[in-house]
Amino acid sequence: MIEIIRPGMLTTVQDLGRFHHRAQGVVVSGALDEVAQHVANWMVGNSADSAALEITLGQIQLRFLHKHRFALTGADCDADLDGKKIKTWWSYVAQAGQVLRLRVPARGMRTMMAVSGGFDVPLMLGSFSTNLKAGFGGWMGRALRQGDMLPVADEPVSALLTEPGPAFGIMPPPGLLCGVSGRSSPIRVIPGPELSCFDHASQQACWGADYKISPASDRTAYRLDGAPLFRKKSMQQDMLSHAVFPGVIQVPPSGQPIVLLNDAQTTGGYPKIGVVIAADLWKLAQLPLGAHLHFVPCSTDDALLAARELKSYLNHVKQILSVHV
């Protein structure tokens, strides 16, 4: 059992997402940084899709009521355990009564916290993830609050080797340090089916133009401020609603792009200028509000290569961690 002393700005229970229900209008949900989700769970001996905490912008404080192995990945939130500094991308053992504190991250947006066994929340439509808009899944269908007591499932045998509880760490994935102050982060994008609907200047501007992530962004979408993109006069008629998914970049009448994330609706009627490649979605999710980014055109072959490289990193991590857990 884990007691939430301070819930932070937004902390939810997530896994890898809720699939096979989009036809009924059910969003994917799930951890926005899937790489951090995988590694955090593996570091405590869980399967990658075990229920973990997604902590947005840190500032959480919680108490372990029993002994647990835990791991933090993703954004570095200057964490400490009973006042002793601990590292992100490391696994530790907490004793009963110890308090974990996370502060505002120096860079990055979201930290994943996994505990051995995973959080014991109900499985709903095949997932532990929180659907905030519909109010179901995760912990009571909502973000965590002060005083919540989160149950933890039984620890897997592989995570019980905690005497005397050695700590160990893993190298973070390449590209984690995106979003550094004063720099624009490259996000690779496959050109979308409606890119040709935009005028020549807009088609040129969408590649390489600097965009700033708006404070109006959330788990539904990153709303961007920057060079407006305009459709050709002959292409300004309304579009029929069609299926959309995380990573799709839509352009509303304002001309300011919107990048859909895991809690986005399942259909939309705005034109799509492109789709963020799967291998860059975790990087996008770690860009904080106010960070700058630019889109880089990417071919399907390049996207597949990037996916293989990311899979290779995860396979390497899993092989290394098999020694520990």
All domains of the chain in start order, with CATH: 2-172 (no CATH), 184-312 (2.40.100.10)
* CB-CB contact of 53 with 9 (8 Å): no
The low-confidence residues of the chain, meaning pLDDT below 50, are 160, 162-164, 325
DSSP-assigned letters across all residues of 300-314: HHHHHHHHHHHHHHH
Give, in order, the Cα–Cα distances in Å from 38 to each of 34, 41, 73, 79. 6, 6, 9, 20
Q: Identity (one letter) of the amino acid at 123?
A: L
Residue with tokens 């705005």: 270
CA atoms within 13 A on the CB side of 120: 11
| Type and span of the H or E element at 275 | strand 272-276
pLDDT value at residue 156:
59
CA atoms of 161 and 165, how far apart (whole Å): 8
DSSP-assigned letters across all residues of 129-177: --BTTTTBSTTTTS---TT-EE-BPPPPGGG---SS---EE-PPPTTTT
pLDDT value at residue 164:
47
CA atoms of 217 and 211, how far apart (whole Å): 13
CA atoms of 300 and 191, how far apart (whole Å): 10
| Percentages (nearest 5) of helix, strand, coil residues in the chain | 20, 30, 50
pLDDT value at residue 182:
67
pLDDT value at residue 155:
66
pLDDT value at residue 179:
53
pLDDT value at residue 160:
47
Predicted model pTM: 0.92
pLDDT in tens, 8-54: 999 999 999 999 998 899 999 999 999 999 999 999 999 999 999 99
Taking each helix axis from N to C end, the angle separating 34-43 and 278-285, rounded to the nearest 10 degrees, works out to 80
